[in-house]
């Protein structure tokens, strides 16, 4: 921990974090703080309950244990980490304008958020590529549970490495404003020199975390949607599988769109701040940053709502969990759609023989 003396008019290593008398901090208004408390509290509550429920139903019900659902659980875990490890501390820091949580959390909180965002984008990309391979090329899923968990592990390891500068180049310090006024600050501390390492890293992460993954995901789902749209079923018996794939793909595309829209204002504002430092001097800078951060964090609770709204399996599983039932078919005469699809596929094979057309393939990979 370092101690710095703040002298008005003189640049200090943390002059951007020190109070500027000429600026009006709108987030200090009581009405604004009440709104921020309600917003962050709602996001935390909805995120914790929703994502914990997604993880629970996939672990609890055997019919929900598919490769796609394991990836969805990975998304829920990353969002849950943000809800529990990042948002409460971010809210307090925003309200107090001072870091009260010590050196360990100073290095950990921002790192955890960067890690979670990276895990989310990579997982969404893996889901899109797996469905692209399966649906566009009519391939049976070759991703076993073991390989699925390996991919998830590699995703976390690579994301941890990419987010590590957020923990390494962080410094917890004490700024002495006056003999009677000192503030604790947690701020970025990048190496000095001709290169602006902060801007380089920020722009690199924008490309790696947002632009490149979304470009790959968009390409994959455009090809998937084109394939499904032009699909001609050779028999009425296979329409069920085709409709299931279309509905699941629509749900996953919606998840990606919500994620992209929620994070777009935050990334755009960050990019503007990196390109033009005058943005940091705006009277409303902190308020704008906080609003965009709240919008971005809405993505952490949106997914469970989308699953329950757009997917029959998740909706049934959620209702079963709320009623404390042990089996999904205990609240509905129809067992999960995935189970019915497999049963129907076996019946078709008994009638037509072991060879079946591509319309019945990939049920394991695409059932959600």
Q: Domain with 362 in it: what CATH number?
A: 1.20.1070.10
The total domain count for the chain is: 1
Q: Do 141 and 151 touch, CB atoms closer than 8 A?
A: no
pLDDT per position as a tens digit, 216-266: 999 999 988 888 877 655 555 456 666 777 788 888 899 999 999 999 999
What pairs with residue 187 in β-bridges?
Answer: 171
Q: Do 304 and 252 touch, CB atoms closer than 8 A?
A: no
Q: Do 86 and 116 touch, CB atoms closer than 8 A?
A: yes
pLDDT per position as a tens digit, 47-77: 999 999 999 999 999 889 989 899 999 999 9
pLDDT per position as a tens digit, 260-286: 999 999 999 988 888 887 888 788 888
Structural domain span for residue 247: 2-366
3-state secondary structure 10-46: CCCCCCCCCCCCCCCCHHHCHHHHHHHHHHHHHHHHH
Higher pLDDT, 194 or 103: 103
């Amino acid at each position: 921990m370092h101690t710095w003396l703040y002298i008005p008019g003189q640049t200090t290593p943390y002059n951007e974090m020190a109070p500027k008398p000429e600026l009006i901090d709108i987030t200090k208004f009581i009405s604004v703080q009440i709104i921020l408390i309600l917003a962050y509290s709602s996001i935390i509550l909805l995120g914790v309950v929703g994502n914990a429920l997604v993880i629970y139903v996939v672990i609890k019900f055997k019919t929900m244990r598919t490769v796609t659902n394991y990836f969805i659980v990975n998304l829920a875990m990353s969002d849950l980490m943000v809800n529990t490890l990042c948002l409460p501390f971010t809210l307090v820091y925003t309200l107090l304008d001072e870091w009260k949580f010590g050196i360990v959390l100073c290095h950990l909180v921002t790192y955890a958020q960067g890690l979670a965002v990276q895990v989310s984008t990579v997982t969404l990309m893996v889901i899109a590529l797996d469905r692209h391979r399966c649906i566009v090329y009519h391939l049976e899923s070759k991703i076993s549970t073991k390989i699925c968990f390996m991919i998830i592990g590699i995703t976390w390891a690579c994301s941890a490495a990419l987010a590590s500068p957020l923990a390494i180049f962080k410094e917890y310090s004490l700024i002495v404003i006056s003999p009677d006024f000192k503030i604790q600050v947690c701020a970025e501390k990048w190496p000095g020199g001709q290169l602006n390492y902060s801007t380089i890293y920020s722009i690199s992460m924008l490309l790696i975390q947002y632009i490149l993954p979304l470009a790959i995901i968009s390409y994959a789902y455009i090809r998937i949607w084109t394939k499904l749209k032009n699909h001609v079923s050779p028999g009425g018996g296979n329409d069920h599988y085709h409709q299931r794939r279309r509905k699941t793909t629509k749900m996953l595309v919606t998840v990606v769109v919500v994620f992209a829209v929620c994070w777009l204002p935050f990334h755009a504002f960050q990019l503007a701040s990196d390109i033009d430092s005058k943005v940091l001097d705006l009277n409303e800078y902190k308020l704008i940053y906080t609003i965009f951060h709240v919008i971005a964090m809405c993505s952490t609770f949106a997914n469970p709502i989308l699953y329950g709204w757009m997917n029959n399996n998740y909706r049934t599983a959620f209702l079963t969990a709320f009623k404390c039932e042990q089996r999904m078919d205990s609240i509905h005469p129809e067992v999960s759609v995935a189970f019915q699809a497999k049963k129907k596929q076996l019946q078709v094979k008994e009638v037509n023989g072991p060879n079946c057309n591509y319309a019945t393939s990939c049920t394991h990979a695409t059932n959600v």
